[in-house]
Amino acid sequence: MTVQVTRPGPSTPRATKRRSAAGLALPALTALVVGSMIGSGIFALPSQMAGSAAPGPLLIGWLITGAGMLMLAFVFQGLAERKPDVDGGVYGYARAGFGEYVGFTSAWGYWISAWVGNVAYLVLLMATLGYWFDGFDGGTTTTAIVGASVLLWLVHFLTVSGVRNAAAVNVVVTVAKVVPILTFIAIAAVGFSSGIFTADVWGHDAGLGTTMDQVKNMMLVTVWVFIGIEGASVYSQRARERKDVGRATVLGFAGVLALLLAVNLLAYGLMAQADIAGLSDPSMAGLLENEVGSWGAGFISAGLVVSLLGALIAWVLLAVEILRLPALDHVVPKGLAKENVHGAPVSALWLTNLCVQAMLLWTLVNENTYTDLIYLATSLILLPYLWSAAYQVKLALTGETYADGHGRTRDLLVGAVALGYAVWLVYAGGWEYVLVAGLFYLVGTALFVWARVESHKPVFTSVEKILVAVVAATSVVAVIGLVQGFVSV
């Protein structure tokens, strides 16, 4: 099922406004990609990976992740160039290729992933403050939740002052947070021991399971640290030059991949795998403290605070944008597209941050850990990635935008690998997260129905009715599982 998407062209007032000199330039778009990817993940990466995989399976996992995410980066780059009239990245591609409801599910899943991820950032940020202050241990104490709430609303009102102001702050923060990471890499390279690295390469002594089990277990963590690769494409409508969207995606991916590999692999040469797994987050701080003393832990913790602030700003921007664009298309209620005089989508912003606030309060009762939150956030973003890759495959198969046939076979292969990788991630993540994701999608479907009725448009096509039935069935199983205990997400 294909829906022809019509959007304002370059000559219309809205398009002219978005492509003016006031738009986001390549450095700002690249910073948005890097800033959204480098959040908490890289600082907690050593212990999270060490708890799942030994160096050998780790290398295999990174090879799969690197190849898969590179193909996704190429997908977003290629779609930005071949479909410059489609705004909104993962939402726009899903809608253009597979219809209104599929577009909605992509936007809805991405939006929930974004704000749940922000809860995870705030929890870890407060836990990091526990390095200096009492009362913040674990990030879910009453003191920590109060602190997280204050910070959340400071970021909220920064964004209310205008998207460009928030994006400018994000550029500065992105540069600042890379410094402690590079410092860690330099010190770790000097202290690296090949003997420690090769002591138990395949994890036989650590009882981590088979090589395949170890590779599967690390998959959701590797996706978490790459979430944000699509950041520039989500903000495509606000880009100064459309071609910069693809460039920012590939530049951001390459830089972050290099940092992730260096941090993760060097860590296995500093301490034994079991010792790394036992470090508290941020584990990078514990590793550096082991090498240079207590100042190292303080330095990394300070860097993490800066990094989390940057990621929080970047993901608030992405979350509100992924609601604003569907509202313009009558896929979610039109009120969510409302902007203030500064161009900030205030309705989407309030809804997003109220959800973050509610879940912060929930952590006081439920005691969700940082890892629980990132697994949930990661599972919800897999479907948007899958639809984007599927759209590139569809374009290549049908020949749309390939008048001379140039690059068609290449793009088909790239899209197929990215699609296969997305399917593998759904499998590796586990069926529990698929069920819970279905429950979130069913709740959101009410907004889709509201928007369609509000705009006097048909609600579902015959194919979409089948999709909704599948989502509903999945949700029923999820609810039964949560009640009976065989779903414990």
**What is the per-residue pLDDT for 17?**
42
**pLDDT score for 369:** 67
Average pLDDT over residues 465-484: 92
Residue 350 confidence (pLDDT) above 90: yes
**13-430 topology per CATH:** Amino acid/polyamine transporter I (1.20.1740)
Residue 465 confidence class, pLDDT cut points 50, 70, 90: very high
* pLDDT score for 448: 96
pLDDT at 251 over 90: no
pLDDT in tens, 366-408: 766 677 778 888 888 899 999 999 999 999 999 999 988 888 9
Across the chain, what does the average pLDDT equal?
Answer: 85
> In the prediction, which pLDDT does 164 show?
62
Model confidence pLDDT, tens digit, residues 432-451:
888 888 999 999 999 999 99
Higher pLDDT, 192 or 8: 192
The residues pairing with 239 across neighbouring beta strands, listed in sequence order, are 24
Determine the residue type at 39: G
Least confident piece of the model among 54-58, 61-65, 424-428: 424-428
**pLDDT over threshold 50, residue 282:** yes
- Averaged pLDDT, 84-95: 90
**pLDDT-wise least confident of 172-176, 180-184, 195-199, 252-256:** 172-176
Higher pLDDT among residues 126 and 161, named by residue: 126
The residues, any chain, with a CB within 8 Å of residue 122's CB and separated by 6 or more, are 139, 148, 151, 152, 308, 312, 356, 360
Q: Residue 8 above 50 pLDDT?
A: no
Integer Cα distance of 42 and 52 in angstroms: 15
Contact between 268 and 197 under an 8 Å Cβ cutoff? The reply is yes
* Burial readout 114-125 (b: 16 or more C-beta within 10 A, e: otherwise): bbbbbbbbbbbb
Residue 3: its pLDDT value, please?
Answer: 31
Q: Which residues of 166-200 are buried (b: 16+ CB within 10 A; e: fewer)?
A: bbebbbebbeebbebbebbbebbeebeeeebbeeb
pLDDT band at 167; cut points 50, 70, 90 = low
Give the residue-averaged pLDDT of 139-165: 85
Q: Which residue would you say has higher pLDDT here, 355 or 238?
A: 355
Distances (CA, A) of 414 to 77, 78, 417, 432: 11, 10, 5, 29
Q: With 50 as the cut, is the pLDDT of residue 48 above it?
A: yes
Which carries the bigger pLDDT value, residue 17 or residue 92?
92
End-to-end CA separation in angstroms for the chain: 33
Residue with tokens 């069920």: 435
Q: What is the mean pLDDT of residues 65-74?
A: 89
- pLDDT at position 21: 52
Poorest-pLDDT segment among 30-44, 252-266, 285-299, 401-415: 30-44
Q: What is the pLDDT of residue 1?
A: 37
Domain ranges of the chain: 13-430
pLDDT of residue 140: 84
User: Of 60-69, 202-211, 349-358, 419-428, which one has max mean pLDDT?
Assistant: 349-358
Q: Residue 378's pLDDT is what?
A: 84
Pick the more confident residue, 441 or 239.
441
Cα–Cα distance measured from residue 220 to residue 273, given in angstroms and rounded to the nearest whole number: 19
| 16 has pLDDT over 60 | no
Q: How high is the pLDDT of residue 12?
A: 35
Q: What contacts 51, CB < 8 A, 6 or more positions away? A: 277
pLDDT attached to residue 326 = 94
Provide mean pLDDT across the span 297-318: 85
